[in-house]
Structure 1
Amino acid sequence: MDLQRYSGLWYEFARYENRFEEGCEGVTAEYTPQPDGVIAVKNSCREATVDGPLKVSNGKAKPAGDPKGAKLKVSFFGPALMTNYWVLDHGDDYDWSIVGEGSGRYLWILTREPRPSAERRVELIARAKSLGYDTDMLRYTEQPAR
């Protein structure tokens, strides 16, 4: 995986519900490579609705020794609390990605556009299912119109 191409702004299309995103809509993630090899991470969401109050979490990611670069360690609370962030699949043009962490407990489907087409949504759900995820557990994220 090319981390330079992966960097930039992503919109959350769907996720497995989790406590740190509970009630979030309009979720985005932005990845910015730093000169020291660390990747700055900025996660944003709106509470309850796409017009709700903005919540922002800043963290850092670093490659986890995977030669393909698809496995990262991410922390929002300092180096003692690094968690897995695995890019399980992505588009050839880096226009979508499916992210998990190995246990199957977490799943995110990200796109470069806030509202992917119906065809793209079906494709991404099928890809997540082919990776062994229970797509009935997906929670679809509301995104604002551009």
Structure 2
Amino acid sequence: MKWICFVSALLTLTGCLGMPDTVKPVDGFNVDRYTGKWYEIARLNHSFEEGLENVTAEYIAKENDGLAVVNRGYDPESGEWRQANGKAFFVNHSDSGYLQVSFFGPFYGSYVIFGLDKQDYQYAFVSGPTLDYLWLLARTPKVEQSLIDQFVEQAASRGFNTQELIYVRHE
């Protein structure tokens, strides 16, 4: 049943392009520097990630443009890993942090990078199509509290309900 909910939620998410009015994608984005493994540090909860720990996202450059996406998390209740494979493409141009992501067929959802460590690509603040979707990603499973504070401040100023954030456990 959880897997059905996971798939349904992903279908819902992947049916929406656009972004909240308060969110603007970063410019000067470099996809080659963004590829690789990211750890989910914080998120707004959704059924497709409910209860998951050790959540990661991996972005892999594809030869024919775009990215392969592998989202993975551990469900301690079932003792199993969950994985979703998808693809991502730029909505406008490749130097803007605005992509469309699909995990199922022709249905795409927004993936908007609105905060980014442009010097070292060590963290990213990501929104989906509405204020209901929010993630803090980092290259390491643990980050400084100052980065979390910066993320919460920027997200709250854009209208996200930061009181509902879930901080992901990593072992």
The answer, yes or no, to whether TM exceeds 0.5 is yes
- Identity rate, percent: 34
Q: 1:139 corresponds to which residue?
A: 166
Q: 1:84 corresponds to which residue?
A: 110
Q: RMSD of the alignment, in Å?
A: 1.7
Q: CA deviation at 1:5?
A: 0.9
Q: 2:34 corresponds to which residue?
A: 6
2:135 to 104, 108, 132: 108
Q: CA deviation at 1:53?
A: 1.5
Q: CA deviation at 1:48?
A: 3.0
TM-score normalised to structure 2 length: 0.77
Q: CA deviation at 1:7?
A: 1.0
Give the Cα separation in 2 of the matches to 1:136 and 1:66.
34
Give the residue type in structure 1 aligned to 2:46: N
Structure 1 runs (4+) deviating above 3 angstroms are none
Give the Cα separation in 1 of the matches to 2:168 and 2:158.
20
Matched, 1:20 2:44: no
Unaligned runs of at least 5 residues, structure 1: none
Q: CA deviation at 1:8?
A: 0.8
SS of match in other structure, 1:21 = coil
Give the Cα separation in 2 of the matches to 1:115 and 1:34.
29
Q: CA deviation at 1:115?
A: 0.9
Contact 1:3 1:69 in 2 (8 A): no
Unaligned runs of at least 5 residues, structure 2: 1-28
Count of residues in correspondence between the two structures: 142
1:42 to 67, 70, 84: 70
Q: CA deviation at 1:66?
A: 4.2
TM-score normalised to structure 1 length: 0.89
